[in-house]
Amino acid sequence: MLGVSFGLAVTIGGTIGMGILRTPGEVATQLPTPTLYLGVWILGGVYALLGTVSVAELGAMIPRSGGWYVFVHRAMGNYPGFVVGWSDWLSTCGTLAVIAMVVGEYTAVLIPGLAGRDKSIALVVVLFFAALQWRGIRWGSFTQNLTSLLKTLIFVVIAIAAFAFAGKSNAGTPLPAPHGFALFGALIIALQGVLYTYDGWYGVIYFGEEVRNPKRDVVRSMFGGVLMVIAIYLVVNLAYVYVLPMSRLAGENFAAGAVAKEIFGAYGDKTIRVLAILSLLSTINAYTLTSPRILYAMSCDELFARRAARVNKGGTPTVTLLISTVVALLFIFRSFEQVLAALAFFFVANYAMAYISVIVLRWREPDLPRPYRAWGYPWTTGIVLLGSIAFLIGAVISDKRHSLFALAILAASVPIYLVVHLLSSRHHKRS
């Protein structure tokens, strides 16, 4: 069984990834003053913390493995649950593939003899972690604890080195800050990047029935994890602003690399790539653990093949792990950037569905035991729900192409759901 240390590790491992290395440059382009720049990272952290306030109630109350799907299925029924599970599973598999490809790209740069073999390296990485998880949750848990600890130390070292060894940035050429409606538009775009970077703060909800004491440990893991992520992000971004002038940070595709060059000179690029690879391995392990459990929960509720609910002696849902691994490998073999960009639209939609689930279950099942009740309900839940809706509206306005594609994926779920429902009905008749 899993404890709080695993909950913290999977939260840190699944949240802190490429976002904090690359996104700061995009955020600084939209909000090119230190106050606005740091302010939006604080705002993103507050949003994640308020989300934790509400989702922790669901996690402690419904201790099942499977993530968002479990809550929405309980509150709203089969089809809404299926859509949330389907989109969450696909995006997790796709994100796993993308991160593995980044590891392959960085490894090929560090080892010239592997040049041009990015995808082969990514394939090996995905297969390695799948084989590791196949042995059982204890191996997965140990690996997650170890790699997340290493990841935390890496970012702490980067921040300390930035303040200790790099000179304070000169002001450079001040960039004009947006005002009025332009500021609102820039804030929405910047917040998209920040929320993508914070995504993962709920990691432990995918392992509810495997946690030793879910009524207590899920809540502790969620709050401890999100507070640690917020602290790390703020310290790292303070280091970025300390070392780089805003005029240079804005538009920087690899902010961590630019800071590393200031600290380590000519060795900066190689140093940060090695650290990035070590950091990303933790994220890959977290997603390899997560994706099979979404499909497993759907299988238990007969929204996927019932046979896929098999679990081996080590506690691993092997059938869904195999399917998830195959899908991740397919993402590596082919370019699915458009699909991933569209699925990114769903992650805030899944947040919103979870917040609605809190409200629905409070109304429909008021007597259901709640070991933890959302602090400040209904105001805290209402604030993050309205924030999620506003974010989705802003995303549609600022990125119509990918938003429309996301709606097409949603429409595609209808015939898939009908086929699954038909097959499930036939299985019941035979049995």
pLDDT in tens, 180-211: 777 877 887 888 888 888 988 999 999 988 88
> ∠ CA(267), CA(269), CA(270), 5° rounding?
70
Please name the residues in contact with 246: beta carbons below 8 A apart, sequence gap of 6 or more.
28, 32, 33, 34, 37, 172, 174, 175
Q: What is the 3-state secondary structure (H, E, C) of 64-83?
A: CCCCHHHHHHHHHCHHHHHH
Do 3 and 273 meet the contact criterion of CB atoms below 8 Å apart? no
Does 71 have pLDDT greater than 80? yes
More confident residue, 95 or 58: 58
Q: Tell me the two tokens of residue 23.
A: 């996104």
Instruction: Please say whether the beta carbons of 277 and 103 come within 8 A.
Output: yes
Q: Length of the chain in residues, anyone? A: 431
Burial class (CB in 10 A: 0-12, 13-18, 19+), 283: buried
Which has the higher per-residue pLDDT, 318 or 408? 318
- Residue 356, pLDDT > 90, answer yes
pLDDT grade for 156, boundaries at 50, 70 and 90: confident
DSSP 8-class letter at 2: B
Q: Say which range, 39-53, 57-71, 86-100, has the weakest mean pLDDT.
A: 86-100
- Please name every residue paired with 2 in a beta bridge, in sequence order, or none if there are none: 211
- What integer pLDDT is reported at residue 173 of this predicted model? 60
Residues 202, 51 contacting (CB under 8 angstroms): yes
Gap between the Cα atoms of 104 and 123, Å rounded: 9
Higher per-residue pLDDT: 74 or 157 = 74
How far apart CA 135 and CA 313 sit, in angstroms, is: 9
For residue 48, the model assigns a pLDDT of: 93
Residue type, 8: L
Buried b (16+ CB within 10 A) or exposed e, 142-171: ebbbebbbebbebbeebbebbeeebeebee
pLDDT (average), residues 149-160: 87
Q: What is the mean pLDDT of residues 15-27?
A: 85
Query: Which segment of 12-16, 47-51, 234-238 scores lowest on mean pLDDT?
Result: 12-16
